[in-house]
Amino acid sequence: MMRRLLKIFSLLAVIMLFHSSLQLVKAQTQEDISGFLQQGQDCYNRGDLTGAALEFENILMIDRQNFAARVWLAQVYIDLKALDKARHILREAALQAPDHPRVIQLQKMLGEIKTPVSLLNIDPVKTEAIALLGSGTRLRRYGLVIPESKVASDTSERDLLVFDDIEIIDEKPKEPDLQLEDYFGEQSGPLADVFKVLEREGLNPALDMYFTRVFADPKLGAADDKGLLARAENLYSPRFKADQKDREALYYFAALQYMNGMYPYAEELFAPLRKDPGEYAERMKPFLAGIDRWREQENLRVAMIKQAEEERLAREAAEKEEEERFRLAEEARSQRRRRPVDVASGAAQPTTPEGVAKGLHSEGYDLYKRGKLDEALEKYQAALEQHGENAELNYHMGLAWTDKGLAGDSAAFDRAVISFQRVISLVPDSKLAKDAQAMIRDIDSAKKTLGE
């Protein structure tokens, strides 16, 4: 029997150890996922789309069903114009949460993007011919010579050419390629002139025109740039990181950070060019003007926060100073009460009503601090009969009645309120009046709590 129990305990220990290991691995995996998700979002906010994609893909390697990573990765693919990848990953996210607002938004975004016709579906002869016509680009899909296998034969010219050793295969005339016409048609939209410059003159002139247009009309910043800024980011970000003295890379990288709303980083990047602008003097002016406006507003905002904090600290200091004065006055009164009467000198106790009230007040306060509420209230009442205009005396009496109420005497709450109201009428603008008002509010809350 004992052996059987030992086996059972051993088995339970192994199961518990295995369960603990699984929990540890799960916790570490969740930490990794959270870290990748945060790093991916940081990359995306900096405009580093490639880095963001890498971080979100890392999550999916750990947890293929991670919904947040799928949605973020779909957004990144859309920004990179990798539309097939975006559709694939978004389709998986839609299977998890088809009615999720983010999924619906990205699906709508994908539906509005017109996918350009792949060059693989375009006749290579036409492609090469167009590449030669003033495009200014050195990148040609098929090089200087088009491979013969890529050239479609034209049967309409068979009788005009001599083919010695080439077998001619009859082909049906091709239908007009309407997609080709659409692809190479005139650009349209508010940034059409920017895209024309991109085709004819290259990336930098297109970026310069885009910046000029956006500064003239900020609403254009929301228009589809067809991947222009992403393309520039992919070019100039690694160039700048490789050589921070590359002035061209520095200027365009700084301009891209400004366009992405990262004004502090843009301000830092533009600093060396501000000192030595050179050929970028005119082009930098709108960026520097925008940064200066932002800096002025930021300084104003910080100054307002600082002023509000200083005012708060000043109020707290004043309140503490008033509390300290009140405490010192209380201590002075207590010391006077404790001072022995010099009988030999013939000194007599004060006989004025105000003097008698002070003595009774002090005695009542000492009784109150020792928890003798009824005796304290008797002293306070006697003092008020001598001098009822003493706000502090009325306040202390209100405190004593409040404690009586909390001890179960519900009628005492009403008498406490009368005492506090008396304080407010005697010294309406004092801190003591504010404390009395606070006590009245607390009494109302206590009565509600107690069901009064």
For 114, the token pair is: 């017109």
Each residue's pLDDT tens digit, 308-355: 999 999 999 998 888 888 888 877 776 665 544 443 444 444 567 777
Q: What is the DSSP letter of 342?
A: -
pLDDT at 340: 45
Residue 11 CA to residue 300 CA, distance in Å, equals: 68
**Does residue 360 or residue 330 have the better pLDDT?**
360
Q: Which amino acid is residue 419, in one-letter code?
A: S
pLDDT at 186: 55
**Does residue 435 or residue 130 have the better pLDDT?**
435
Mark out the alpha helices in 189-246 (DSSP H runs): 192-201, 203-216, 228-242
Residue 424 CA to residue 261 CA, distance in Å, equals: 54
pLDDT at 351: 62
Main-chain dihedrals φ then ψ at residue 352, nearest 5 degrees: -75, 155
Residue 39 CA to residue 55 CA, distance in Å, equals: 7
| Buried/exposed 355-384: b ≥16 CB within 10 Å, e otherwise | ebbbbbbbbbbbbbeeeebebbbebbebbb
For 372, the token pair is: 């003798």
pLDDT at 134: 40
Each residue's pLDDT tens digit, 283-315: 999 999 999 999 999 899 999 999 999 999 999
Please give the C-alpha separations between residue 361 and each of 321, 330, 339, 357, 439, in angstroms, as whole numbers.
24, 11, 16, 6, 20
Question: Which of the residue ranges 104-108, 125-129, 178-182, 418-422 would you say has the lowest mean pLDDT?
Answer: 178-182
For 452, the token pair is: 């009064």
Q: Mean pLDDT in the chain?
A: 77
Using the Cα atoms of residue 115, residue 118, residue 122 and residue 125 in order, give the sign of their dihedral.
Answer: positive
Q: Where in the chain is the domain with CATH 1.25.40.10?
A: 22-112, 353-449
Q: How confident is the model at residue 70 (pLDDT cuts 50, 70, 90)?
A: very high
| CATH class in words for 353-449 | mainly alpha
| C-alpha angle 108-109-112 in degrees, rounded to nearest 5 | 90
Distance of CA 282 to the CA centre of its chain: 34
Q: How confident is the model at residue 118 (pLDDT cuts 50, 70, 90)?
A: very low
Q: How confident is the model at residue 208 (pLDDT cuts 50, 70, 90)?
A: very high
Q: Is the domain covering 22-112 a CATH 1.25.40.10 domain?
A: yes
Beta carbons within 8 Å of 201's beta carbon, 6+ residues apart = 136
First vs last Cα of the chain: how many Å apart?
Answer: 66
